[in-house]
């Protein structure tokens, strides 16, 4: 498979299937039906034991918006510490203010706790008020990767903004196209965005 694909996996079965179908990295999460939350510790331990692929872990305390109170921030900090202790490759995080900006103070705390793990800013980005300004803030934080559907319901619909973000980022951060990426549309998304990485929950032999 010529595309770098990160597989979004809510179960051990999905982790194993992702490895068989050419995924290059795992994003481990729980409860995809509400947009994904931090996976249970037992799933994290099992996934790390079962795959040689890098495992990045979604750290999100609940579904809903991305505006967090102090108790929720503390829960995320604890989740990040666990990921670091158990040997995850990275964490996938994001926090916003009520006016749709990146919550820089909260993000700095989360990133400080995560280091030296890789840090991906997740699709909270797609709820920001000004995506180009948010991109610059996320770069300034030192995040290595941004996951986005281009402020659209899926990455195909958002491919024009994703392409703009890739060009604006100019290699300062990896812009990863995600949501609705499938074997049948990844080539067009790749061609029209220039994105170097793709995120998909589709586990299929068609990737091979």
Torsion of CA 44, 49, 54, 60, to 10 degrees: 0
Q: Is residue 196 part of a domain?
A: no
Alpha carbons within 13 angstroms on the beta-carbon side of residue 129 total: 8
Q: Is the pLDDT of residue 1 over 90?
A: no
List the domain range (segments joined by +) for residue 128.
Answer: 4-191
State if pTM tops 0.85.
yes
Name the residue among 75, 82, 18 with its Cα closest to residue 51. Answer: 18
CATH number of the domain that residue 123 is part of: 3.20.20.380
The pLDDT tens digits of the residues spanning 89-125 come to 999 999 999 999 999 999 999 999 999 999 999 999 9
Q: What is the mean pLDDT of residues 169-198?
A: 97
Q: Is residue 203 part of a domain?
A: no
- The tokens of 87 are what? 């040997």
Per the prediction, the chain carries an average pLDDT of: 97
The pLDDT tens digits of the residues spanning 27-86 come to 999 999 999 999 999 999 999 999 999 999 999 999 999 999 999 999 999 999 999 999
Model confidence band, residue 205 (pLDDT cutoffs 50, 70, 90): confident
């Amino acid at each position: 498979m010529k595309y770098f694909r990160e597989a979004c996996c809510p179960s051990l079965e999905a982790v194993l299937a992702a490895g068989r179908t050419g995924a290059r990295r795992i994003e481990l999460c729980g409860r995809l039906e509400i947009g994904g939350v931090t996976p249970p510790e037992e799933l994290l331990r099992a996934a790390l034991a079962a795959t040689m692929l890098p495992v990045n872990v979604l750290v999100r305390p609940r579904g809903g918006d991305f505006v967090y109170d102090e108790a929720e921030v503390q829960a995320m900090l604890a989740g990040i510490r666990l990921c670091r202790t158990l040997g995850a490759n990275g964490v996938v995080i994001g926090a916003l203010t009520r006016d749709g900006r990146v919550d820089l103070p909260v993000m700095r705390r989360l990133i400080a706790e995560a280091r030296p793990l890789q840090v991906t800013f997740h699709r909270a980005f797609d709820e920001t008020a000004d995506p180009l300004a948010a991109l610059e803030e996320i770069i300034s934080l030192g995040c290595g990767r941004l996951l986005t559907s281009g402020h659209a319901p899926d990455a195909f619909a958002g491919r024009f903004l994703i392409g703009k973000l890739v060009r604006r980022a100019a290699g300062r951060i990896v812009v990863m196209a995600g949501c609705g990426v499938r074997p049948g549309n990844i080539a067009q998304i790749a061609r029209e965005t220039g994105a170097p990485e793709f995120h998909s929950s589709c586990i299929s032999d068609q990737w091979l």
